């Protein structure tokens, strides 16, 4: 199932809030529709929102009335600012928008229509590169999974969270395609149940054995020696290897460490933020309390209760066994090896 579709010169986004009960697409005829879809998690997952924002900028460019390059770029920068403000934690969002703007500012063309064409080409490139990088990640990562491996994953880092194929689930898919007998345990992932609604759905669609558990079952599952490794995605990885991912990931990592279970993170290089030295610097998005107090419109908690609802947590690098990228598998010391694989020089 494609989360992002550019077809007949228009953008459609799969409304993932409706899955798995119904498959509905949002027609995005203006950039604010794209921004709202990102903000309310109709499209979600760091790579996916990066690609969606790139196409959203293309849609926004078509709304701009400007005859000259300077005015066009100024108005486009404001649109990029609105799109970039929708979700602060996932670095791919800002990365994709910055890449789109950089491509335009370095282009010699003065004609606004030509600039719009360049933008669409760049958005297509971001989308296609993500699919390719996911497949490369899968090829590298599947080497870590022995035949018969039982894999625990948290949240959804599959095709729905990317341009296609997936990061953490891409590793599982690749192992399955190699003929390995892989099975999956999917945390339900409160409060919005991305594991129950999305990860389990993807695995069922592909015929990969999957068992759904509630988040608070993970520790007992490990104690019963029913898990061989954990694989998760990431929304941002800092220079020292600290990992921001869906809330609850940190707890799973602590449990994995205690039970001597490998904890792997699968993410493209675009998720690595070499500008931040540690996870303490990552901005953590806090979301609507109703996500915790309500489900499917029904109240599950008393009126007036106070709620804390961070969307992400940070897993410190010492809990991460390895980081799987499209350029290979990175092991500690991350401060050195991430810089090396990213080609980063201080």
pLDDT score for 344: 67
Q: Is 87 annotated as a binding residue?
A: yes
Lowest-confidence pick of 41-50, 239-248, 337-346: 337-346
Residue 61 has pLDDT above 90, yes or no: yes
DSSP 3-state percent helix, strand, coil across the chain (nearest 5): 45, 20, 35
pLDDT score for 110: 82
Backbone dihedral angles phi then psi of residue 122, each to the nearest 5 degrees:
-70, -40
Determine which one of 215, 235, 273, 313 is catalytic: 235
- What is the Cα–Cα distance from 45 to 266, expressed in whole angstroms? 13
Q: Is 39 annotated as a binding residue?
A: no
Q: Is 194 annotated as a binding residue?
A: yes
Burial bucket for residue 291 (CB in 10 Å: 0-12, 13-18, 19+) = middle
The mean of the pLDDT values for the chain is 96
- What is the Cα–Cα distance from 18 to 16, expressed in whole angstroms? 5
Which CATH architecture best describes the domain 144-342? 3-Layer(aba) Sandwich (3.40)
For residue 101, what is the enclosing H or E element?
helix 91-105
Nearest to 248 by CA among 297, 192, 290: 192
> What are the distances in angstroms from CA 17 to CA 31, 193, 194, 296, 335?
19, 10, 9, 10, 37
* CATH number of the structural domain 4-135: 1.20.120.420
> What are the distances in angstroms from CA 21 to CA 13, 97, 164, 180, 189?
16, 32, 21, 30, 18
Bond from prior residue into 146 cis (ω within 30 degrees of 0): no
Q: DSSP string covering 249-310, please? A: HHHHHHHHHHTT--EEEE--GGGEETT-SSGGGS---B--THHHHEETTEE-S-TT-----B
Q: Is 248 annotated as a binding residue?
A: no
pLDDT score for 119: 96
Give the other-Cβ count within 10 Å of 275's Cβ.
10
Parse the chain into domains and list their residue ranges.
4-135, 144-342
pLDDT tens digits, one per residue of 230-278: 999 999 999 999 999 999 999 999 999 999 999 999 999 999 999 999 9
In the beta sheet, which residues pair with residue 7? 10
pLDDT tens digits, one per residue of 119-175: 999 999 999 999 999 999 999 999 999 999 999 999 999 999 999 999 999 999 999
Token pair for 180: 């390995």
Average pLDDT over residues 297-325: 97
> 47, 162 in Cβ contact below 8 A?
yes
Q: Which residues of 154-174 are buried (b: 16+ CB within 10 A; e: fewer)?
A: bbbbbbbbbbbbbbbbbbbbb
Q: Is 44 annotated as a binding residue?
A: yes
Domains 4-135 and 144-342 share a fold: no
pLDDT score for 345: 52
- What is the Cα–Cα distance from 284 to 173, expressed in whole angstroms? 30
pLDDT tens digits, one per residue of 170-209: 999 999 999 999 999 999 999 999 999 999 999 999 999 9
pTM across the whole model: 0.95
- What is the Cα–Cα distance from 1 to 267, expressed in whole angstroms? 20
For residue 313, what is the enclosing H or E element?
strand 312-315
Token pair for 313: 């947590």
235 catalytic per annotation: yes
């Amino acid at each position: 199932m494609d989360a992002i579709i550019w077809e007949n010169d228009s953008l459609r986004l799969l409304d993932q809030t409706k899955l798995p009960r119904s498959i509905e697409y949002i027609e995005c005829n203006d950039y604010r529709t794209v921004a709202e879809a990102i903000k309310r998690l109709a499209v979600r997952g760091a790579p996916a929102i990066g690609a969606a924002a790139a196409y959203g900028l293309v849609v926004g460019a078509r709304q701009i009335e400007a005859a000259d390059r300077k005015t066009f770029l100024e108005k486009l920068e404001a649109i990029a600012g609105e799109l970039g403000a929708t979700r602060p934690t996932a670095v791919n969002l800002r990365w994709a928008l910055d890449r789109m703007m950089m491509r335009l500012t370095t282009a010699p063309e003065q004609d606004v229509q030509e600039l719009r064409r360049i933008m669409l080409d760049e958005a297509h490139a971001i989308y296609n590169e993500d699919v390719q990088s996911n497949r490369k990640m899968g090829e590298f990562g599947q080497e870590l999974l022995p035949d018969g491996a039982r894999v625990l994953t948290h949240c959804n880092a599959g095709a729905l969270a990317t341009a296609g194929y997936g990061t953490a689930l891409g590793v599982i898919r690749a192992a399955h395609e190699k003929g390995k007998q892989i099975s999956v345990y999917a945390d339900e992932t409160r409060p919005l149940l991305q594991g129950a609604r999305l990860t389990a759905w993807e695995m069922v669609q592909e015929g990969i054995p999957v068992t759904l558990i509630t988040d608070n079952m993970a520790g007992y599952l490990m104690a019963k020696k029913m898990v061989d490794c954990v694989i998760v995605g990431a929304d941002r990885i800092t220079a020292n290897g600290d990992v921001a991912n869906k809330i609850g990931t940190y707890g799973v990592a602590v449990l994995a460490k205690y039970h001597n279970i490998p904890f792997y993170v699968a993410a493209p290089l675009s998720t690595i933020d070499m500008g931040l030295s540690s996870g303490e610097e990552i901005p953590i998005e806090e979301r609507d309390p109703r996500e915790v107090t309500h489900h499917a419109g029904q109240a599950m908690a008393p009126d007036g209760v106070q709620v804390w609802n961070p969307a992400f947590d940070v897993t410190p690098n010492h809990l991460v066994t390895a980081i799987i990228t499209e350029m290979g598998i990175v092991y500690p010391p991350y401060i050195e090896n991430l810089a090396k694989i990213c080609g980063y020089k201080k």
